[in-house]
Amino acid sequence: MKRNILITGGAGFIGSHVVRLFVRKYPEYNIVNLDKLTYAGNLANLKDVEDASTYRFVKADICDFERMREMLREYKIDGIIHLAAESHVDRSIKDPFTFARTNVLGTLSLLQAAREYWESLPEGYAGKRFYHISTDEVYGALEMTHPEGVEPPFTTAASSGSYHLAYGMEFFREDTKYNPHSPYSASKASSDHFVRAFHDTYGMPMVVTNCSNNYGPYQFPEKLIPLFINNIRHRKPLPVYGKGENVRDWLYVEDHARAIDLIFHEGKIADTYNIGGFNEWKNIDLIRVLINTVDRLLGRKELEDLDLITFVKDRAGHDIRYAIDSTKLQRELGWEPSFQFEEGIERTVRWYLENQEWLDNVTSGEYLRYYEEIYANR
């Protein structure tokens, strides 16, 4: 079936994997990637699909309501996968306004534009879908409830989660109460509420997913994994917040993209799904794995770079533990992660080591100047 799908934030980390998957898997769809190209957006992430005849890039700000209205009509959009956001917690602590603007007002602008357009069509909302991509951070922080002497990593078989269940550990479930702590998570929580309110008030056919920490190629090197891989390579200090005790639940980005594909097509309207890998790691243990992997792949002595670890002042309001229960998604739609953590990390480290030029461009701001010139001349 022919469809016209808008993916927002498609030049970012997760968005670029979603665009790539959709362009390749659905040649019968038209895919419009709308992105403002902030510091985090990079069209070089999409070089391998940018020439596809079914792919279009639109440089625009989701907060520009008039532009959103025109664009939805121009491309006759019938499905929206909304990823565009400010996504880095540390930046939100320094500049919360930008997060409220993009994540809250930008989402509202897109919702209202979609509502106006779809309600103006003879068929109304039939066959339409607004898919909002959110985060597990909206739920706040979990206690470290595992028994004395039982420590993460908890990389249980993705399909069972039995380790956690056996120890009675807490998870984020779809009905967990929202309790965001950072300006980033507060802005994402607010956007989730707006999306649900548009369903309850206007009948907008929407779905929301809340995912755990993603890792993999094309992630901006301000986030833990790419930042630390690059620093280890160049023997720069690794700034570990607090004591490195915080726990995150890591999912390989392509598994998230596959879940998005499945939920976009088969998820129940007005429903919420949690997405996660049953793969919890304490930061300090994960960092050791990164050091070990980088050193091995560069032919250095085992754990030679352990002394790069530098404990620094903790992040304000730093959530101690995130862990997602994704059994609903598994039970209802049959999704489970396909990458074991060892394989995902090996691929990821190799990718950053082999793509130093990408990292250098991103960190130098070179790519921003390059694409500004290209779009100024169009």
User: What tokens were used for 289?
Assistant: 């794995």
Return the residues of window 106-135 that contact ligand NAD according to CB under 6 A. 106, 133, 135
Distances (CA, A) of 353 to 50, 70, 155, 179, 305: 24, 42, 25, 38, 16
Shortest Cβ distance from residue 275 to ligand DAU (Å)?
A: 10
104 in contact with ligand NAD (CB under 6 A):
no
- Tell me whether residue 30 or residue 212 sits nearer to ligand DAU (CB atom): 212
Q: Which uninterrupted H or E stretch holds 165? A: helix 162-166
Residues classed as catalytic: 136-137, 184
Q: Which of 5, 6, 7, 12 binds ligand NAD (CB under 6 A)?
A: 12
227 in contact with ligand DAU (CB under 6 A):
yes
SS3 category, 116: helix
Q: Which of 35, 137, 280, 336 binds ligand DAU (CB under 6 A)?
A: 137
# residues contacting ligand NAD (CB under 6 A): 30
272 in contact with ligand DAU (CB under 6 A):
no
136 in contact with ligand DAU (CB under 6 A):
yes
Closest chain position to ligand NAD (CB): 12
63 in contact with ligand NAD (CB under 6 A):
yes
Distance, in Å, from the CA atom of 83 to the CA atom of 81, rounded to the nearest integer, reads: 6
User: CB–CB of 225/348 below 8 Å?
Assistant: yes
- Partner whose binding site includes residue 11, from ligand NAD, ligand DAU, none (CB under 5 to 8 Å by kind): ligand NAD
192 in contact with ligand NAD (CB under 6 A):
no
Distance, in Å, from the CA atom of 207 to the CA atom of 185, rounded to the nearest integer, reads: 18
- Tell me whether residue 180 or residue 205 sits nearer to ligand DAU (CB atom): 180
276 in contact with ligand NAD (CB under 6 A):
no
- How far is residue 15 CA from its own chain's centroid? 7
Distance, in Å, from the CA atom of 263 to the CA atom of 332, rounded to the nearest integer, reads: 10
223 in contact with ligand DAU (CB under 6 A):
yes
102 in contact with ligand NAD (CB under 6 A):
yes
User: What tokens were used for 257?
Assistant: 């993209």
- List the Cα angle 370/375/377 in 5-degree steps: 100
For residue 282, which phi and psi values (nearest 5 degrees)? -70, 140
114 in contact with ligand DAU (CB under 6 A):
no
Shortest Cβ distance from residue 353 to ligand DAU (Å)?
A: 19
# residues contacting ligand DAU (CB under 6 A): 19
User: Which residue, chain included where needed, has tokens 């990458």?
Assistant: 339
Give the alpha-carbon dihedral of 180, 183, 189, 191, to 10 degrees. 180
89 in contact with ligand DAU (CB under 6 A):
yes
Give the alpha-carbon dihedral of 8, 10, 13, 17, to 10 degrees. 120
Distance, in Å, from the CA atom of 76 to the CA atom of 11, rounded to the nearest integer, reads: 21
User: CB–CB of 73/121 below 8 Å?
Assistant: no
- Partner whose binding site includes residue 248, from ligand NAD, ligand DAU, none (CB under 5 to 8 Å by kind): ligand DAU
Give the footprint of ligand NAD on this chain (CB under 6 A): 8-9, 11-15, 35-38, 40-41, 61-63, 83-87, 102, 106, 133, 135, 188, 211, 213-214, 220
Give the footprint of ligand DAU on this chain (CB under 6 A): 87-89, 135-137, 212-213, 223-224, 227, 239-241, 246, 248, 283, 315, 322
